[in-house]
Each structure stands twice: as structure tokens, then as C-alpha cells.
Structure 1
Amino acid sequence: MALDVLCEVNNCVHNRDGKKCGASEIFVVSHKGKKASSQEETDCKTFEPSDL
């Protein structure tokens, strides 16, 4: 599990010090339903498809 969640959205209330997210939970979405094939199909820069 990640120790730090990075954020580049400067005007978000959860952005701390201009680079770290301080939200209690993170919600990542896919633009292709419940499965995505690539990072470009998600709002997650660290997305990697699983073998499932």
C-alpha cells in the first residue's frame, strides 16, 4: 500500500504542500467501465493492468 498519495491539483482542499493528498480515502475511476486496459483509460497515473 502506498505511504504517500501525490497530487498536482493545486486548488484541491486536500492538497498539502502543493504535492501530497491529505484525504482520508482515494477514489480512482475507469473511463471504460469496471475494467481498463491502460493508464489512459483511468484517472490513475500509477495504473497497471492485473492478470485477472
Structure 2
Amino acid sequence: MAQDVLCEVNNCKYWDNGNKCTAESIYVISHNGREASDMGETDCKTFEKEH
């Protein structure tokens, strides 16, 4: 399992200095069911906008 998860979306509530993700788990989905051909066909469902 990954030791560090990096994220450049600095308006996410889980974003921290150094582009670190502080979420306890990450949920990624594919636009096309269970398979994706490239990263453009995926979305991070863990994202929550920071207030």
C-alpha cells in the first residue's frame, strides 16, 4: 500500500503542505464502470472542498 498519497488540489480539506493527502482512505472511481484506459477516465470521490 502507498506510504504517501500526493494531491495538488489545495482547496480540498484533506490537502496539506507538500501536496500531502491526509485522508484516512482514498476512493477513486472510473467513468466507465470498473475499468479505465487512462487517468482522465477516473475521479477522486474523496475530495471535499475546504470551507
Structure 2-normalised TM-score?
Answer: 0.71
Higher strand share: 2
The alignment covers a number of residue pairs equal to 44
Greater RCO (Cα-Cα under 8 Å, separation 6 or more):
2
Deviates more, 1:1-10 or 1:33-42: 33-42
Q: Which amino acid aligns with 1:23?
A: A
Instruction: Compute the displacement of 1:35 (Å).
Output: 1.5
**Contiguous gaps of at least 5 residues in structure 2:** 45-51
Instruction: Compute the displacement of 1:43 (Å).
Output: 3.0
**Which contiguous aligned blocks of 4+ residues in structure 1 show a shift greater than 6 angstroms?**
none
Residue aligning to 1:22: 22
User: Are the equivalent residues in 2 in contact too, given 1:31–1:42 (CA < 8 A)?
Assistant: yes
Structure with the greater alpha carbon radius of gyration: 1
Residue aligning to 1:12: 12
- Give % identity: 59
User: Aligned Cα RMSD in Å?
Assistant: 1.6
Structure 1-normalised TM-score?
Answer: 0.70
